[in-house]
């Protein structure tokens, strides 16, 4: 399995931007689809965005489209999530995820995920 470590979270104000990063180690990250999901207190996991192994195609949920952008760099075994125009309802722990099948990331049931990074958006 691949090990994932997220970074880049923090406290921001509504309307700000934030970029999250995820470093993958262990088995070669390029052999996995990768993505992001989040979980707010008392709520279920919510899929955000994912990218196929090559990074040439990306997919985002309706709630993420237009504000969140995913990218990956297989030479560095990293994926990023650029988040713009953040809102208080974006407050959550953001997790990086990896799986052989992108579908498993989209249903927030990946084989691997990181500990997460907290994002707090104040109004």
Residue 79 pLDDT exceeds 80: yes
Secondary structure of the chain as H, E, C letters: CEEEEEECCEEEECCCCEEEEEEEEECCHHHCEEEEEEECCCCCCEEEEEECCCCCCEEECCCCCCCEEEEEECCCCEEEEEECCCCHHHCEEEEEEEECCHHHHHCCCCCEECCCEEEEEEC
Q: What is the CB-side half-sphere exposure of residue 101 using CA atoms within 13 A?
A: 8
Looking at residue 38, its pLDDT comes to: 98
The answer to whether 14 and 121 have CB atoms below 8 angstroms apart is yes
Read off the tokens for 101. 């099948």
CA 25, CA 82: separation in Å to the nearest integer? Answer: 21
Q: What is the pLDDT of residues 3-47, one digit of tens each?
A: 999 999 999 999 999 999 999 987 676 789 999 999 999 999 999
Q: How large a percentage of the chain has pLDDT more than 90?
A: 89
CA 27, CA 47: separation in Å to the nearest integer? Answer: 23
């Amino acid at each position: 399995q691949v090990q994932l470590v997220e970074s880049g979270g923090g406290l921001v104000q509504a309307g700000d931007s934030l970029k999250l990063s995820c470093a993958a180690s262990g088995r070669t990250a390029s052999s996995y689809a990768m993505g992001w999901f989040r979980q707010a207190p008392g709520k279920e996991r919510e899929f955000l965005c994912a990218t196929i192994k090559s990074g040439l195609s990306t997919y985002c949920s309706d709630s993420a489209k237009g504000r969140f952008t995913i990218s990956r760099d297989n030479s560095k075994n990293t994926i990023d999530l650029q988040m713009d125009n953040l809102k208080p309802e974006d407050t959550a722990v953001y997790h990086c995820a990896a799986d052989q099948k992108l579908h498993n990331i989209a249903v927030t049931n990946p084989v691997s995920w990181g500990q997460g990074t907290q994002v707090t958006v104040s109004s």
